Amino acid sequence: MIKVLVTGGAGFIGIALVNKILRESDWSVVVVDKLTYASSFEALAAVDYPSRFAFERADIVDAAGMHRIFAAHRPDTVINLAAESHVDRSIDEPAPFIDTNVRGTGVLLVVSLAYWRSLTGSGRKKFRFHHVSTDEVFGSAGGERSFRETSRFRPSSPYSASKAAADHLVSAWNRTYGLPTIITRSSNNFGPYQIPEKLIPLTITRALQGKSIPVYGNGLQARDWLFVEDHVDALLAVHARGRVGRSYNVASGKEMRNIDVVVAVCGELDRIVTRSTLRPHAKLITHVDDRPGHDARYAISTKRIKDELSWQPRTSFDAALTRTVAWYIDKTDWWQRRLREGAHERRGLGWQSVPVGAHRERS
């Protein structure tokens, strides 16, 4: 049986990954999470496989704590999802992003290297340090261009810069020390348990409250949208069969403008919440000043993961959106509690409060 240590396992992607591992394999999982506002421990507290699940509340920047956890649980492999991840927050307060994403990754690499060197035989051979990153490290893609794994990093925000730095550290530990590492970089994820500060849950939850839905600038920024369950399928495929020292892009191939995503969410709410007095929900859309350094387009090529690992997304955007909207309607208590506990609905320089129903067009 494989024992995997998942850092950030009580976060949005971590929850989907941990539940899939426990549900569809015989692996055991050790989750390490410091339980910030973006964590949802209750989503893991009632797992159906308690004999294969352990939880450690800890911060990855705590080297002594990480050494203790590795020694106590003796994981066969590591998937690092622990990160501060919201661009707006990084603009307002970059220090936590540097601390967790850069320093924390560095601590994990130091601890993992010492642990890996202590292993022998098959244990040492099967160990992997799998670092989960983002397409934002590449910066804005112009025209029809899609970034490959070997493309140059040009991060625009403190968040993406911190992730780019972490990626470089992971690659350096592989090249300098021989630590068996793999990196995956995904496009924009969405699905259940995502904090209401991200675009799709932000739109859903503000619309359900009858609040204005902020769209930065003209809303023409383009993103690839990946359902979280497809992402975790890719993570497990890469972890099992990916080549050590290699990176893999993960995306859906469904590129949409932000304004079109928001309109699609509003349309789905109109369809599901048929008796709402707020229909059509698109009347709540409000264009606000753009945030600094806002990349116009993200696009990554997934040729490598498709050719080498035969992975491709299985869920259409429309089907995933229907499931996601229905989940937030059903889990009102969950996202309202997240808001009370510090999940701000929108942050970042350029955000303006506006009256409900106000609509200001921008060119």
Distant-in-sequence, close-in-space partners of 164: CB < 8 Å, separation ≥ 6: 137, 153, 155
Quote the tokens at residue 311.
Answer: 């992975």
pTM across the whole model: 0.93
Cα–Cα distance measured from residue 112 to residue 14, given in angstroms and rounded to the nearest whole number: 19
Query: What is residue 295's three-state secondary structure?
Result: coil
pLDDT confidence of residue 12: 96
Cβ-contact 80, 102 below 8 angstroms: no
Cα–Cα distance measured from residue 324 to residue 318, given in angstroms and rounded to the nearest whole number: 10
pLDDT tens readout for residues 120-171: 999 999 999 999 999 999 999 987 689 999 999 999 999 999 999 999 999 9
CATH fold of 3-192+226-250, please? Rossmann fold (3.40.50)
Give percent of the chain with pLDDT exceeding 90: 84
For the annotated catalytic residues, the residue numbers are 135-136, 159
pLDDT tens readout for residues 270-313: 999 999 999 999 999 999 988 888 999 999 999 999 999 999 99
The matching CATH number, chosen from 3.90.1150.10, 3.30.750.24, 3.90.25.10, 1.20.140.10, for 199-220+255-300+316-340 is 3.90.25.10
- Angle of the 105-118 helix axis to the 158-177 helix axis, nearest 10: 20
Cβ-contact 22, 52 below 8 angstroms: yes
For 43, phi and psi rounded to 5 degrees?
Answer: -70, -15
Domain chopping of the chain, boundaries: 3-192+226-250, 199-220+255-300+316-340
Beta bridge partners of 180: none
Cα–Cα distance measured from residue 335 to residue 343, given in angstroms and rounded to the nearest whole number: 9
pLDDT tens readout for residues 305-341: 999 999 999 999 999 999 999 999 999 999 999 888 7
